[in-house]
Amino acid sequence: MAYSVQHVQTILGSFFFHLAVFKWFAAPVLRRLWPVFAALPADKQVSSQNYVMSLIHGAVVGGLSWYAFLFSYVPQDKLLYDSPNVRHGACIVMGHAAADLLLIAWYFSLRSREMVVHHVCALWVTYCGSVDPAAAYYGNLSLMTELSSPFLNLRHILHNMGQKTSLLYKVNGVALLVVFFLCRILTIPLWFSLRKHLGTDELYEVGIGLQTIASCSATSQTSAAQPHSNTTHHDNVQHILTILGSFFFHLAVFKWFAAPVLRRLWPVIR
Protein backbone atom coordinates (compact mmCIF):
# COMPACT_ATOMS: atom_id res chain seq x y z
CA MET A 1 0.00 0.00 0.00
CA ALA A 2 1.28 3.46 -0.89
CA TYR A 3 0.52 6.88 0.52
CA SER A 4 -2.87 8.42 -0.07
CA VAL A 5 -3.31 12.11 -0.82
CA GLN A 6 -4.20 12.66 2.85
CA HIS A 7 -0.89 11.15 4.04
CA VAL A 8 1.13 13.34 1.67
CA GLN A 9 -0.84 16.38 2.84
CA THR A 10 -0.11 15.46 6.47
CA ILE A 11 3.63 15.19 5.78
CA LEU A 12 3.77 18.49 3.89
CA GLY A 13 1.47 20.18 6.39
CA SER A 14 3.67 19.04 9.28
CA PHE A 15 6.81 20.18 7.45
CA PHE A 16 5.56 23.72 6.79
CA PHE A 17 3.73 23.99 10.13
CA HIS A 18 6.89 23.30 12.13
CA LEU A 19 8.91 25.72 10.00
CA ALA A 20 6.23 28.37 10.59
CA VAL A 21 6.35 27.74 14.34
CA PHE A 22 10.12 28.23 14.31
CA LYS A 23 10.06 31.30 12.07
CA TRP A 24 7.01 33.30 13.17
CA PHE A 25 5.59 31.87 16.39
CA ALA A 26 8.42 30.89 18.75
CA ALA A 27 10.33 34.19 19.00
CA PRO A 28 7.31 36.47 19.73
CA VAL A 29 6.02 34.06 22.37
CA LEU A 30 9.42 33.76 24.03
CA ARG A 31 9.86 37.55 24.05
CA ARG A 32 6.41 37.97 25.57
CA LEU A 33 7.00 35.38 28.32
CA TRP A 34 10.65 36.22 29.02
CA PRO A 35 11.80 39.66 27.81
CA VAL A 36 15.40 38.54 28.41
CA PHE A 37 15.07 36.48 25.22
CA ALA A 38 15.76 39.59 23.12
CA ALA A 39 19.14 40.05 24.84
CA LEU A 40 20.31 36.46 24.37
CA PRO A 41 23.10 35.63 21.91
CA ALA A 42 21.88 34.65 18.46
CA ASP A 43 22.76 30.98 18.92
CA LYS A 44 20.69 30.72 22.11
CA GLN A 45 17.76 32.47 20.45
CA VAL A 46 17.86 29.98 17.58
CA SER A 47 18.13 26.99 19.90
CA SER A 48 15.26 28.29 22.06
CA GLN A 49 13.05 28.70 18.99
CA ASN A 50 13.97 25.16 17.96
CA TYR A 51 13.00 23.89 21.42
CA VAL A 52 9.59 25.54 21.08
CA MET A 53 9.09 23.82 17.73
CA SER A 54 10.06 20.44 19.21
CA LEU A 55 7.88 21.04 22.27
CA ILE A 56 4.79 21.52 20.12
CA HIS A 57 5.70 18.51 17.98
CA GLY A 58 6.05 16.28 21.04
CA ALA A 59 2.74 17.46 22.47
CA VAL A 60 0.86 16.81 19.21
CA VAL A 61 2.40 13.43 18.40
CA GLY A 62 2.45 12.25 22.01
CA GLY A 63 -1.15 13.28 22.57
CA LEU A 64 -2.35 11.66 19.32
CA SER A 65 -0.53 8.38 20.02
CA TRP A 66 -1.84 8.13 23.59
CA TYR A 67 -5.34 8.83 22.31
CA ALA A 68 -4.90 5.96 19.82
CA PHE A 69 -3.62 3.70 22.60
CA LEU A 70 -6.37 4.47 25.11
CA PHE A 71 -9.46 5.22 23.02
CA SER A 72 -9.10 3.62 19.58
CA TYR A 73 -8.66 0.02 18.49
CA VAL A 74 -5.02 -0.77 17.73
CA PRO A 75 -4.67 -4.57 18.02
CA GLN A 76 -1.57 -6.05 19.57
CA ASP A 77 -1.93 -9.42 17.87
CA LYS A 78 -2.15 -8.14 14.27
CA LEU A 79 0.89 -6.94 12.38
CA LEU A 80 -1.15 -6.07 9.30
CA TYR A 81 -3.67 -3.50 10.47
CA ASP A 82 -4.42 -0.02 9.15
CA SER A 83 -4.74 2.52 11.97
CA PRO A 84 -5.31 6.04 10.55
CA ASN A 85 -4.24 7.67 13.83
CA VAL A 86 -0.91 5.83 13.87
CA ARG A 87 -0.14 6.37 10.19
CA HIS A 88 -0.92 10.08 10.35
CA GLY A 89 1.11 10.36 13.55
CA ALA A 90 4.08 8.86 11.73
CA CYS A 91 3.54 11.31 8.88
CA ILE A 92 3.65 14.21 11.35
CA VAL A 93 6.97 12.90 12.68
CA MET A 94 8.32 12.70 9.13
CA GLY A 95 7.39 16.33 8.48
CA HIS A 96 9.01 17.49 11.71
CA ALA A 97 12.21 15.49 11.12
CA ALA A 98 12.53 16.91 7.59
CA ALA A 99 11.93 20.46 8.84
CA ASP A 100 14.49 20.08 11.62
CA LEU A 101 17.07 18.68 9.18
CA LEU A 102 16.55 21.77 7.03
CA LEU A 103 17.06 24.05 10.04
CA ILE A 104 20.17 22.10 11.06
CA ALA A 105 21.59 22.64 7.57
CA TRP A 106 20.70 26.36 7.66
CA TYR A 107 21.80 27.30 11.20
CA PHE A 108 25.32 26.42 12.27
CA SER A 109 24.43 26.57 15.98
CA LEU A 110 21.93 23.72 15.52
CA ARG A 111 24.36 21.41 13.74
CA SER A 112 24.80 18.16 15.58
CA ARG A 113 25.97 14.91 14.08
CA GLU A 114 23.93 12.99 16.63
CA MET A 115 20.70 14.82 15.73
CA VAL A 116 21.30 14.29 12.02
CA VAL A 117 21.65 10.54 12.62
CA HIS A 118 18.56 10.62 14.85
CA HIS A 119 16.42 12.42 12.29
CA VAL A 120 17.57 10.29 9.36
CA CYS A 121 16.70 7.17 11.34
CA ALA A 122 13.37 8.75 12.31
CA LEU A 123 12.58 9.45 8.66
CA TRP A 124 13.34 5.87 7.67
CA VAL A 125 11.43 4.27 10.54
CA THR A 126 8.35 6.47 10.19
CA TYR A 127 8.35 5.97 6.41
CA CYS A 128 8.34 2.19 6.92
CA GLY A 129 5.57 2.47 9.48
CA SER A 130 3.38 4.88 7.55
CA VAL A 131 3.60 3.80 3.91
CA ASP A 132 2.11 0.39 4.80
CA PRO A 133 -0.63 -0.42 7.35
CA ALA A 134 1.65 -2.68 9.37
CA ALA A 135 2.82 -3.04 12.99
CA ALA A 136 0.50 -0.23 14.06
CA TYR A 137 0.55 -1.25 17.72
CA TYR A 138 4.34 -1.19 18.00
CA GLY A 139 4.69 1.93 15.90
CA ASN A 140 2.27 3.64 18.23
CA LEU A 141 4.31 2.53 21.25
CA SER A 142 7.27 4.39 19.75
CA LEU A 143 5.22 7.52 19.15
CA MET A 144 3.89 7.42 22.72
CA THR A 145 7.38 8.15 24.06
CA GLU A 146 7.15 11.63 22.51
CA LEU A 147 4.84 12.78 25.30
CA SER A 148 7.86 13.36 27.55
CA SER A 149 9.54 15.59 24.95
CA PRO A 150 7.59 18.80 25.76
CA PHE A 151 8.85 18.73 29.35
CA LEU A 152 12.43 18.12 28.23
CA ASN A 153 12.27 20.98 25.72
CA LEU A 154 10.68 23.31 28.28
CA ARG A 155 13.58 22.45 30.61
CA HIS A 156 16.05 23.58 27.93
CA ILE A 157 14.07 26.76 27.28
CA LEU A 158 13.95 27.68 30.97
CA HIS A 159 17.69 27.00 31.22
CA ASN A 160 18.37 29.40 28.33
CA MET A 161 16.15 32.03 29.95
CA GLY A 162 18.08 31.85 33.22
CA GLN A 163 15.16 30.28 35.10
CA LYS A 164 17.02 27.37 36.72
CA THR A 165 16.05 28.53 40.20
CA SER A 166 12.41 29.23 39.39
CA LEU A 167 9.47 27.24 40.71
CA LEU A 168 8.39 26.42 37.15
CA TYR A 169 11.77 24.85 36.44
CA LYS A 170 11.48 22.62 39.51
CA VAL A 171 7.85 21.64 38.86
CA ASN A 172 8.67 20.89 35.23
CA GLY A 173 11.59 18.71 36.36
CA VAL A 174 9.26 16.60 38.52
CA ALA A 175 6.72 16.37 35.68
CA LEU A 176 9.49 15.30 33.29
CA LEU A 177 10.56 12.53 35.66
CA VAL A 178 7.00 11.23 36.07
CA VAL A 179 6.03 11.39 32.39
CA PHE A 180 9.38 9.96 31.26
CA PHE A 181 8.87 6.98 33.57
CA LEU A 182 5.29 6.53 32.38
CA CYS A 183 6.00 6.83 28.63
CA ARG A 184 9.43 5.30 28.26
CA ILE A 185 9.87 2.84 31.15
CA LEU A 186 6.47 1.43 32.05
CA THR A 187 5.72 0.76 28.38
CA ILE A 188 8.77 -1.49 27.90
CA PRO A 189 6.94 -4.74 28.86
CA LEU A 190 4.39 -4.03 26.12
CA TRP A 191 7.13 -4.67 23.57
CA PHE A 192 7.64 -8.25 24.78
CA SER A 193 4.58 -9.42 22.84
CA LEU A 194 6.56 -8.74 19.65
CA ARG A 195 8.37 -12.04 20.21
CA LYS A 196 5.43 -14.13 19.07
CA HIS A 197 5.52 -12.49 15.64
CA LEU A 198 9.19 -13.22 14.92
CA GLY A 199 9.74 -15.94 12.35
CA THR A 200 6.07 -16.09 11.37
CA ASP A 201 4.52 -15.84 7.92
CA GLU A 202 2.83 -12.59 8.90
CA LEU A 203 6.16 -10.87 9.55
CA TYR A 204 7.27 -11.70 6.01
CA GLU A 205 4.33 -9.76 4.60
CA VAL A 206 5.08 -6.40 6.23
CA GLY A 207 8.18 -5.40 4.25
CA ILE A 208 11.94 -5.35 4.83
CA GLY A 209 11.93 -2.07 6.75
CA LEU A 210 9.55 -3.25 9.44
CA GLN A 211 11.22 -6.66 9.55
CA THR A 212 14.51 -4.95 10.40
CA ILE A 213 12.85 -2.81 13.06
CA ALA A 214 11.12 -5.82 14.58
CA SER A 215 14.30 -7.88 14.58
CA CYS A 216 16.39 -5.11 16.16
CA SER A 217 13.69 -4.44 18.76
CA ALA A 218 13.69 -8.03 19.91
CA THR A 219 17.36 -9.01 19.72
CA SER A 220 17.58 -9.17 23.50
CA GLN A 221 14.48 -11.37 23.77
CA THR A 222 14.32 -15.16 23.46
CA SER A 223 11.76 -15.93 20.80
CA ALA A 224 9.76 -19.12 20.96
CA ALA A 225 8.61 -18.83 17.37
CA GLN A 226 9.45 -21.63 14.96
CA PRO A 227 11.72 -21.00 11.97
CA HIS A 228 9.90 -19.82 8.90
CA SER A 229 9.06 -22.57 6.47
CA ASN A 230 9.23 -22.32 2.69
CA THR A 231 12.25 -20.01 2.82
CA THR A 232 12.96 -18.43 -0.56
CA HIS A 233 15.90 -16.61 -2.09
CA HIS A 234 14.01 -13.35 -1.52
CA ASP A 235 13.70 -14.20 2.18
CA ASN A 236 17.44 -14.90 2.40
CA VAL A 237 18.20 -11.49 0.90
CA GLN A 238 15.97 -9.89 3.52
CA HIS A 239 17.83 -11.74 6.28
CA ILE A 240 21.16 -10.52 4.94
CA LEU A 241 19.89 -6.93 4.75
CA THR A 242 18.65 -7.21 8.34
CA ILE A 243 22.05 -8.45 9.52
CA LEU A 244 23.87 -5.64 7.67
CA GLY A 245 21.42 -3.06 8.98
CA SER A 246 21.95 -4.26 12.54
CA PHE A 247 25.75 -4.30 12.00
CA PHE A 248 25.99 -0.69 10.81
CA PHE A 249 23.38 0.52 13.32
CA HIS A 250 25.40 -0.76 16.28
CA LEU A 251 28.62 0.64 14.86
CA ALA A 252 26.90 4.03 14.52
CA VAL A 253 25.74 3.86 18.14
CA PHE A 254 29.30 3.14 19.27
CA LYS A 255 30.90 5.77 17.02
CA TRP A 256 28.52 8.75 17.21
CA PHE A 257 25.92 8.20 19.92
CA ALA A 258 27.45 6.59 23.02
CA ALA A 259 30.24 9.07 23.83
CA PRO A 260 28.14 12.28 23.56
CA VAL A 261 25.40 10.74 25.73
CA LEU A 262 27.88 9.57 28.35
CA ARG A 263 29.57 12.98 28.42
CA ARG A 264 26.19 14.66 28.80
CA LEU A 265 25.16 12.41 31.69
CA TRP A 266 28.56 12.21 33.40
CA PRO A 267 30.87 15.14 32.49
CA VAL A 268 33.77 13.33 34.19
CA ILE A 269 33.97 11.17 31.02
CA ARG A 270 36.13 12.91 28.45
Largest CA distance in the chain: 67
pLDDT tens string 76-128: 888 888 888 999 999 999 999 999 999 999 998 888 888 888 888 888 888 88
Cβ contact 155:176 at 8 Å = yes
- DSSP states of the chain as a string? ----HHHHHHHHHHHHHHHHIIIIIHHHHHHHH-GGGGGS-HHHHHHHHHHHHHHHHHHHHHHHHHHHHHHS---SS-SB---HHHHHHHHHHHHHHHHHHHHHHH-GGG--HHHHHHHHHHHHHHHHHHHSSB-HHHHHHHHHGGGGHHHHHHHHHHHHTT-TTSHHHHHHHHHHHHHHIIIIITTGGGGGGGGGGTTSTGGGGS-HHHHHHHHHHTTTS---PPPPSS--HHHHHHHHHHHHHHHHHHHHIIIIIHHHHHHHH-TT--
Q: What is the mean pLDDT of residues 232-259?
A: 66
pLDDT at 1: 56
Which CA distances in Å does 116 have to 51, 61, 119, 121, 136? 16, 20, 5, 9, 25
pLDDT at 201: 67
Percent of the chain with pLDDT over 90: 51
pLDDT tens string 189-235: 998 888 887 766 666 666 555 555 554 544 433 333 333 444 444 44
Answering whether pTM is above 0.85, one says no
Is the confidence at residue 258, as pLDDT, over 80?
A: no
First vs last C-alpha separation in the chain:
48
pLDDT at 256: 76
pLDDT at 107: 92
- Burial grade of 122 (CB within 10 A; 0-12, 13-18, 19 or more): buried
pLDDT tens string 25-69: 999 999 999 999 999 999 999 999 999 999 999 999 999 999 999
Torsion-angle region of 94 (φ positive above 0: left; ψ -120 to 50: alpha; else: beta): alpha
List the single range of 14-18, 170-174, 262-266 with lowest mean pLDDT. 262-266
